[in-house]
Structure 1
Amino acid sequence: MTGATSSKQKPLSVEAARTAWVEHPHFKYRGCAPDSDNPQRMAGNPDLHVGAHHEPDAWAPETQRERRAREGAAVEVCLSCPVMVLCDAYANSITPEGKLAEERGVWGGRTGLERGRALIRARHALPAAPANRFETPQKRAVLRALAVVWDPFEVAAAAEVELRRWSAAEGRVFDCRMDVRTANWQRSSLVRLLGLPKTASRAQLLEAAAGRGLLDGVRVVADDGSVPAVPPPTKTSAPARPYQLLLPLKVTEAALEPSVRPRRSRRSPSRVPVVRVPTLDDALAPVPVLSFPTARCLEAAA
């Protein structure tokens, strides 16, 4: 129905796809062909105009409701067309410029918007990685843990148990610690390696992993289908950091002097004013004692 070619078969060119569609024996019986009695009407539905599969001219615009009604009626005609699959294959064939052969209009039972979105998804789809990419201990542990639980903290704890069990069974020494952040990163990596979109659910991830034979002998606990494969960012409580007590240093008059930025002179670039930088000895020097007038002097001055 969709006319999509197999991933192992080379897709047809635009010319070859159109030739296969036009030269088909049932091409003359297509639903969008003009009616024999009224060429202005469609053979698949005499109530529709012969150009209902295509957008109207610029001088005859249509509202959004009218467009949806027209496209829905055109799709109904396509569903009973004998050459719908070949029509869809031709319209969605890729030109040398990387565009669809027919970017607009209803072709093969799909609108131009639907076919354009399908092309974007196909371009962003990633092929599944080979089996050896899943053989790391952390990926295997997270995948087996995700088959049983799906809470981020529970997945991390179950994956750490799996790592410790494998380390003891195989006699290998590796890092068995697993925190929530690492477990979430491994879940995102599994989605990418399996060729799934970022919005994939946990059920889709486990189904793809089971199809690759990565969950043989593992009991899978099903959910309601709303659990995402990659959870949102999890807020973990960071450990309290130790405080450092800073003792104030004695400030001298030299340390309080404003720093003067040397100005470069165009006439004598070699003469640069030297600015004295306060040192640690200046900071540790005794603070000068300031003397104030006594009460006797103030009375005399009064």
Structure 2
Amino acid sequence: MTHDLNAPPRERQALARDRAALVLLAAVTHDMPQHLADEAACGFDPELHTGPDLFTEEPASDRAAREQVAREVCADCPVWASCLFYALDARPETGVWAGLTAEEITALAGGRDASAPTPREVA
């Protein structure tokens, strides 16, 4: 493997983008049960479900198109139902989970804010 500093600029950018996508996926799946993270279809293209890094502006039309493709990937995911249950419990702030955006998950969960206890915390 080529050392990052010795790689051509385009290759360094691609490596940085890939590394950033993995960091974003890790942030989105933090605390998710390992079997969900391992089997989830979003693992094949994390940026599709998380969007670009925080330093990259994504036009609304690009975001809508990306989220639509992510929804299609989620529709065929083997852990879709488990992911939905987890997302309703965890209330993620970003990403597409079980075919829903973080905003849609919040609405589906009854608009509970992040400070409200989750079903798991109450039990």
User: What is the TM-score normalised by the length of structure 1?
Assistant: 0.25
CA distance in 2, matches of 1:81, 1:109: 10
Show structure 1 runs of 4+ deviating over 3 A: 120-123
1:164-183 alpha-carbon deviations (Å, 9 max, x no partner): xxxxxxxxxxxxxxxxxxxx
Q: Hey, which of these two has a bigger chunk of helix by percent?
A: 2
Moved more, 67-76 or 104-113: 104-113
Paired residue type of 1:67 = R
Paired residue type of 2:63 = R
- Residue 33 of structure 1 aligns to a residue whose secondary structure is helix
Q: Does 1:83 align with 2:79?
A: yes
Change in CA separation of 1:121 and 1:60 when aligned onto 2, cut-off 3 Å: closer
CA distance in 2, matches of 1:57, 1:23: 25
1:73-111 alpha-carbon deviations (Å, 9 max, x no partner): 0010000000011111112205xxxxx2x2211011111
Task: Indicate if the aligned counterparts of 1:74 and 1:106 stay in contact, CA closer than 8 A.
Answer: yes
CA distance in 1, matches of 2:42, 2:108: 23
Question: What's 2:64 paired with?
Answer: 68
CA distance in 2, matches of 1:121, 1:90: 16
Residue from 91, 98, 119 that aligns with 1:108:
98
Q: Does 1:31 align with 2:41?
A: yes
Q: How many residues align?
A: 84
CA distance in 2, matches of 1:28, 1:59: 27
Residue identity (%): 31
Residue from 95, 98, 108 that aligns with 1:118:
108
Question: What's 1:285 paired with?
Answer: none
User: What is the TM-score normalised by the length of structure 2?
Assistant: 0.57
Change in CA separation of 1:29 and 1:121 when aligned onto 2, cut-off 3 Å: closer
Question: What's 2:88 paired with?
Answer: 92
Cα shift at 1:121: 5.0
CA distance in 2, matches of 1:57, 1:121: 26
- Residue 82 of structure 1 aligns to a residue whose secondary structure is coil
Cα shift at 1:29: 4.0
1:204-251 alpha-carbon deviations (Å, 9 max, x no partner): xxxxxxxxxxxxxxxxxxxxxxxxxxxxxxxxxxxxxxxxxxxxxxxx
Q: Is the radius of gyration larger for structure 1 or structure 2? A: 1
Paired residue type of 1:93 = D
Gaps of 5+ in 2: 1-30, 114-123
Cα shift at 1:56: 1.9
Gaps of 5+ in 1: 1-14, 35-41, 43-49, 95-99, 124-302
